[in-house]
Chains A and B, each alone.
Chain A
Amino acid sequence: MNHFALTIVGRDRPGIVSQVTEILFNQGCNLADSSCSILGGQFTMILILGHPEFTSRESFGEAFKPLEDADLTVALRVLKPGGEIRPQIEGDICMISVYGADKPGIVYHVAQVLGEKQVNITDLNTKLVGTEERPVYVMVIEAVLPEGVEEEDVNTWLAPTRDELQVDITVRTIPTVEL
């Protein structure tokens, strides 16, 4: 089975998911991981799919033409073998919420601190909320902490960023329980 990463972006409207998945179904693709969401006014789809015979962009022929005709932007990436397998990341899961008055560089500054400390970001979402006069920036990060790193360490590392950017930051680990 060969694997592909397919991304589709276009102005949000009802019916995009069914149009895309109908094509993939008719082509004989298997959907593995996928994430679809509205960002701004755009509907975005990122899909990891497999196909028993297809090997390249050309294998899909004109299959995506109806999507392009419907003003959707389609990009296909051919994955190298093993590129569909999620790496095993060991460690405690930690949620970091960052929010405050909108200003440039919030994501960059927080990500920089986490990157330096080898904290692996596994999910990151940002949203602009509040009013037009007083926009509030909200970011929620899910990260995996390296061995030996505790919630308090992350808090300490982010304290200078909190002061510098005048944002609120909360860090919480989620306990894993076997039931």
Chain B
Amino acid sequence: MAVRSILIYPDPILKQVADPVEAVDESAVAVIQDLVDTMVDSGHSVGIAAPQIGVLRRVLVVDVSKSKLGKSNNHGLLEMVNPEIIEKSGSKIMREGCMSIPDYTGNVTRAEHIVVEFTNRNGQLRVIEASGFEAVAIQHELDHLDGLLFLDRVSSLKTDLYRRKSK
């Protein structure tokens, strides 16, 4: 459908809480498709959430299957409407980068295993168990639906925030 441009902080939309999707209708499917197209177009990205393309609705997509860290443990392309984490355990630190905060990465501790409930593109309720990089990616994107960035999760600027490697 369409590759959309990605909002960059300090765009105020990135700090707002997205609204639940009432029904997975044509307009919701269009958002899912735009997210997939934008994620694929951005090349390096493994996930994106609707607020990053300026849509304040609870939709995200994640696909870690093409990445080195996620290729052995993933569910392929995940399209999630109204995702909710219903269980989490363990913890894992990764140095996260975000397309909406270019040039910086930050160390964030997140749950290593999660159980997520969501509605898929066909309007069916699904529950999956994710772990490792896929779990981290889902939690990062889900944060975007609540107006949270990785900057809200770092505990120390001195040791947790880095300027990204020059490209």
Question: CA separation between A175 and B94, bound complex, in Å?
Answer: 6
A175 touches B47 (CB 8 A): no
Stretch at the interface among A63-71, A85-93, A112-120: A85-93
Produce 1/0 per residue, A164-179, CB < 8 A to B: 0000000000111111
Question: CA separation between A177 and B108, bound complex, in Å?
Answer: 11
A142 to chain B: closest residue by CB: B159
Please indicate the chain A residues that have their CB under 8 angstroms from the CB of B165 in the complex. Answer: 88, 90
B158 to chain A: closest residue by CB: A35
Question: CA separation between A177 and B136, bound complex, in Å?
Answer: 10
Please indicate the chain B residues that have their CB under 8 angstroms from the CB of A93 in the complex. Answer: 95, 162
Question: CA separation between A90 and B164, bound complex, in Å?
Answer: 9
B163 touches A86 (CB 8 A): yes
Please indicate the chain A residues that have their CB under 8 angstroms from the CB of B69 in the complex. Answer: 175, 177
A123 touches B46 (CB 8 A): no
Query: Does B166 lie at the interface of the complex (its beta carbon under 8 Å from any beta carbon of A)?
Result: yes
Q: Which of B118-149 contact A (CB under 8 A)?
A: 133, 136-137, 140-141
Q: Which of B79-95 contact A (CB under 8 A)?
A: 93-95
Please indicate the chain A residues that have their CB under 8 angstroms from the CB of B162 in the complex. Answer: 93
B163 touches A177 (CB 8 A): no
Overall SS of chain B's interface: mixed
B45 to chain A: closest residue by CB: A178
| Range for the number of chain A residues in contact with chain B | 10 to 19
Q: Which of A97-154 contact B (CB under 8 A)?
A: 123, 142
Most B Cβ at <10 Å: residue of A88, A93, A176: A176
A52 to chain B, nearest CB (A): 24
Query: Does B38 lie at the interface of the complex (its beta carbon under 8 Å from any beta carbon of A)?
Result: no
B97 touches A179 (CB 8 A): yes
Produce 1/0 per residue, B44-73, CB < 8 A to A: 111100000000000000000001010000
Query: Does B40 lie at the interface of the complex (its beta carbon under 8 Å from any beta carbon of A)?
Result: no
Query: Does B117 lie at the interface of the complex (its beta carbon under 8 Å from any beta carbon of A)?
Result: no
B95 touches A179 (CB 8 A): no
B158 touches A179 (CB 8 A): no
B159 touches A179 (CB 8 A): no
Known contacts A178-B44, A178-B45, A179-B140; A123/B97 CB under 8 A: no
Please indicate the chain B residues that have their CB under 8 angstroms from the CB of A90 in the complex. Answer: 165-166
Please indicate the chain A residues that have their CB under 8 angstroms from the CB of B166 in the complex. Answer: 88, 90
A176 touches B95 (CB 8 A): yes
B150 to chain A: closest residue by CB: A179
Please indicate the chain B residues that have their CB under 8 angstroms from the CB of A142 in the complex. Answer: 159
A179 touches B141 (CB 8 A): yes
A179 touches B46 (CB 8 A): yes
Since A86-B163, A123-B159 are in contact, a sample of 16 more A-B pairs with Cβ atoms closer than 8 Å, ordered by chain A residue number, is A35-B158, A88-B163, A90-B165, A90-B166, A175-B95, A176-B94, A176-B105, A177-B46, A177-B96, A177-B137, A178-B46, A179-B45, A179-B96, A179-B99, A179-B137, A179-B140
B interface, CB within 8 angstroms of A: 44-47, 67, 69, 93-99, 105, 107, 133, 136-137, 140-141, 158-159, 162-163, 165-166
List 8 contacting pairs A-B, 8 Å CB cutoff, sorted by A: A86-B163, A142-B159, A174-B94, A175-B95, A177-B46, A177-B95, A178-B44, A179-B47
